[in-house]
Amino acid sequence: MLRSIEQIVIHCSASLNGRSLGGGGQSAAEVMDAWHSRRGFMRRAAACRAFNPRLPALGYHWVIDCGGVLESGRSIDEPGAHVAGHNAHSIGICLVGTDAFTASQWAALASQIRYLQRRFPTAHIVGHRDLSPDLNGDGNISPNEYRKTCPGFSVAAWLAGGMQPLPRHLIGGVNAAL
Ligand SMILES: [Zn+2]
């Protein structure tokens, strides 16, 4: 049975900006899989056998390394392990970096989000930090309530700008994207 998708959540890897995780025989998803394995994440055995068995722990559905390659992690129908309390009905996408990304990463993210919007038209596109608890109960998640800064930029601002790279979060500056 297909699960319902209510949120598409954007993350960052909190590793060095512009430094690819893949290379040396391992992909970015494989490197992150090892991180998640050390944190005790473990995919259900049947799901892992059926889809990307080389990634037994990875919590995300996609990873985008600095070169802009979109790498698949968990299957869409498999709940992720990426945002406490919201995994059952969400999809997680992780950009490699902390708060600045390459033009290729921004392009790959926009392309994948557009695809997911067509597939799940009612899903909300949010950043991990937007799902922080509303501590003061005012209905808004204000910056002092961000449990984490992930993904390092405002997803709302990025969406409002038509999914163009946010200049302050673009490696190489605006000219590099031209
Ligand atoms: Zn995150």
State in Å: Cα 30 to ligand 1 middle: 17
Within-domain flag for 158: yes
Within-domain flag for 37: no
Q: What CATH number is associated with residue 106?
A: 3.40.80.10
State in Å: Cα 9 to ligand 1 middle: 8
CA dist 78 and 174 (Å) reads 37
Per-residue pLDDT at 118 exceeds 80: yes
State in Å: Cα 128 to ligand 1 middle: 5
Q: What pLDDT shows up at residue 173?
A: 65
Q: What pLDDT shows up at residue 147?
A: 65
Pick the closest to residue 82 from 70, 94, 72 (CA basis). 94
The alpha helices in 52-125, defined as continuous H runs, are 103-119
Per-residue pLDDT at 137 exceeds 90: no
Within-domain flag for 146: yes
Parent domain of 122: 7-21+59-177
Within-domain flag for 50: no
Within-domain flag for 30: no
Number of domains in the chain: 1
Q: What pLDDT shows up at residue 49?
A: 97
Within-domain flag for 38: no
State in Å: Cα 88 to ligand 1 middle: 16
Interval 12-46: pLDDT, tens:
999 999 999 999 899 999 999 999 999 999 999 99
